Amino acid sequence: MTQENSSLDKQSVKDVVIRFVGDSGDGMQLTGTQFSTTSALLGNDIATFPNYPSEIRAPQGTIYGVSGFQVHIGESAIHTPGDDVDVLVAMNPAALKVNINAVQPGKTIIVDSDSFTSKNIEKAGYKENPLITGELDSFVVIEAPITTLTREAIKDVGLNKKAMDRSKNMFALGMVYWMFTRPLNHTIEFFKKKFSNKPMVIEANIKALKAGYNFAQTLELMPSPLVVLPAKMRPGTYRIINGNTATAWGFLAAAEKSGLDLYLGSYPITPATDILHELVKHLQFGVKAFQAEDEIAGISSTIGASFAGKLAITTTSGPGLALKSEALGLAVMTELPIVVVNVQRGGPSTGLPTKTEQSDLLQALYGRNGESPAIVIAASTPENCFDYAFEASKLALEHMTPVILLTDGYIANGSAPWKIKKVEDMPDITHRQITADDVEGEFEPYSRDKDTLARPWAIPGTPGLEHRIGGLEKADITGNVSMDPRNHEHMTKLRQAKVDKVADSIPDLKVEGAQEGDLLVVGWGGTFGSMFTAVNSMHEEGKSIGLAHFNYINPMPKNVEDVFSKFKKIIVCELNNGQFHTVLNAKFPKFEYMKYNKIQGLPFSVLDLINKFNQILDNK
């Protein structure tokens, strides 16, 4: 939280990070979402990140059952959900215990003091009540008897105790609304709409919200409430969107733009399943969403649907990509357009299902038998998952090849404002379906477009173009099975060249910050927010530092060498053990690369990045 002098009577802060934490039944996700949306409506830029317990129904009050929602709001561009928490709202001792390390001394902690019973304290693993041991002395602790005050405030509504306690979160939210000068009307409207047939629920929540607000005001929880002014965002209509929804919508837009129906063949896997959840809600757009018996059937049916002429996609996470690799090879060999979305998580094996990582890069690039090139692209923010899902579809359909789209748990579950796009705003997609009229003489399924090397797409049901494809090596042009040694070498190179040619249709690599100078920071995919925040702030301080963040990984933009050669030093930062670093070393060996890696299932901390970059710059 950066303080600012302001002529207003209320004190203004540039940005603030708030984390709401409680038991999974305490409604923390709803609380966080309400705060985010209210702030967005006030014009703040925001970024959010939910934190679910890995146990689905962990025992109440235990550290395994703690659920959280973090929101970062600001008056200037916000790129991450924030590293350090300014205000922690903890609904019970376990939630405090799990989250205390994210709060620096001097920051504010709000607790429901009613929840600090000896039983709950013990369940959380505290020996004694942390509110009285003095261990929280370095923080600004606000103890509020939230449970009793909530019950008191809504006792006339007519709910039983258990139902009454469900409104505790709104009392807490009311307090935080007062602290940051937020209006209540959005949340009030939300309850009226959402529970229109449950008047008691509406009444209880509105009363609790107002009671919390008034409580904070009466007690003057802070010397004065704070204000976060609206951010300077590009004019337009916005909504808040998370990465998985944006991914799903990007495919809907691509289907509409290409004039093809969307087919999704998918098997549930964390953290990718929400894409399936989203798409099954919109079958009215002709979406065929198929929940398969396993990951392999997910992609195999996708290949079948692609053969039959759909915009066909499959969604998964790391272990699922491993299972799909043989079938991906079939898509490479049959040169059919499919998109595989890998929402990366910590690995290997089952690894860290709910945590983020970028460790499937090499799997995406090389994890198949044989020489099996595919296009690999990566989204870098929750909102641009929309654009890259669209782009993945466009590249697959125009180049007749599988595309792997990498996102990760961090951007998939994280939310940010999205300037709403319309289908009309998106670039055209020209798929390669043909009819007999397009063919002169004999139909040749493996003939090629001279620019892209893409083959034609003749779909079953088209008269006169009957043909067979398959996983055996193909003779060029005819597509007949061929075991000819020279043909195999030719086809191997052809498939590679086809993917390489995609470089002609992708944008140049952009550099943020200094365009040349001492240090080029290189990243890819979902780390953009933290890396940009770090580089940007250092560049604003006058440091000679730039950021080259990759969205296109195979093939890479054509100007990479150009960009790299303008800097004295290059550091590659990734949430893995150095996979992109390996790729760059192999592709552009004339540069020297340092690396900075974090493999904790967590995003980069901006401060850690800045420290690292400063260290390098000071070491000239």
Partner 1 sequence: MTDSNMPVYTYKDFASDQEVRWCPGCDDYVVLKSIQKALPQMGRRKEEFVFISGIGCSSRFPYYVDTYGMHGIHGRAAAIATGVKLANRELSVWVASGDGDSLAIGGNHFIHLIRRNIDINLILFNNEIYGLTKGQFSPTSLMGQKTKSSPYGNIQPPFHPGELAIGSSSRFFARVPGGNTKMQQAVFIEAEKFKGTSIVEVLQNCVIFNDGAFDKYTDRAVKDDAQLYVEHGKPMIFGKNSDKGIVLDGLKLKVVTIGEDGVTEDDILVHDAKEKDTTLHLMLARLHMPVVTGIIRAVEEKTYDELCTERIEQMKSQAKFKSVNELFASGETYEVK
Q: Is 599 in the site for partner 1 (CB under 8 A)?
A: no
Binding mask 407-426 for partner 1 (x = CB under 8 A): -------------xxxxx--
Separation of alpha carbons 146 and 27, rounded Å: 14
Q: Is 5 in the site for partner 1 (CB under 8 A)?
A: no
The H or E element that residue 202 is part of is helix 199-219
Indicate the length of the chain as a whole number: 620
Separation of alpha carbons 233 and 87, rounded Å: 25
CB 487, min distance to partner 1, A: 16
Q: Which residue shows structure tokens 């376990």? A: 94
CB 40, min distance to partner 1, A: 6
Q: Is 305 in the site for partner 1 (CB under 8 A)?
A: yes
Nearer to partner 1, 219 or 481 (CB): 481
Kindly state the tokens that stand for 219.
Answer: 């007690």
Kindly state the tokens that stand for 531.
Answer: 């890396």
Nearer to partner 1, 221 or 491 (CB): 491
- Nearest by Cα to 467 from 479, 476, 450: 479
Binding mask 21-40 for partner 1 (x = CB under 8 A): ----------------x--x
Separation of alpha carbons 51 and 62, rounded Å: 15
User: Contacting partner 1 (CB under 8 A), which of 153, 312, 339, 570?
Assistant: 312
Give, as ranges, the residues between 265 and 284 that touch partner 1 (CB under 8 A).
Answer: 265, 282-284
User: Contacting partner 1 (CB under 8 A), which of 4, 143, 261, 444?
Assistant: 261
The DSSP annotation for 402-457 comes to -EEEEEEHHHHH-EEEEE---GGGSPP----B--GGG--SS--TB---TTT-PPPB
Beta bridge partners of 287: none
> How many residues sit in the footprint of partner 1 (CB under 8 A)?
70
Q: Is 495 in the site for partner 1 (CB under 8 A)?
A: no
- Nearest by Cα to 337 from 136, 141, 155, 499: 499
Q: Is 9 in the site for partner 1 (CB under 8 A)?
A: no
Q: Is 485 in the site for partner 1 (CB under 8 A)?
A: no
User: Contacting partner 1 (CB under 8 A), which of 25, 145, 353, 471?
Assistant: 471
Nearer to partner 1, 20 or 307 (CB): 307
CB 318, min distance to partner 1, A: 21
Kindly state the DSSP code that residue 128 receives in the 8-state scheme. Answer: S
Separation of alpha carbons 193 and 209, rounded Å: 16
Q: Is 518 in the site for partner 1 (CB under 8 A)?
A: no
Give, as ranges, the residues between 331 and 390 that touch partner 1 (CB under 8 A).
Answer: 334
Separation of alpha carbons 115 and 98, rounded Å: 15
Which residues of the shown chain bind partner 1 in the complex (CB under 8 A)?
Answer: 37, 40-41, 43, 233-240, 249, 252-253, 256, 261, 263, 265, 282-288, 290, 292-294, 296-297, 300-310, 312, 326-327, 329-330, 334, 420-424, 459-472, 480-481
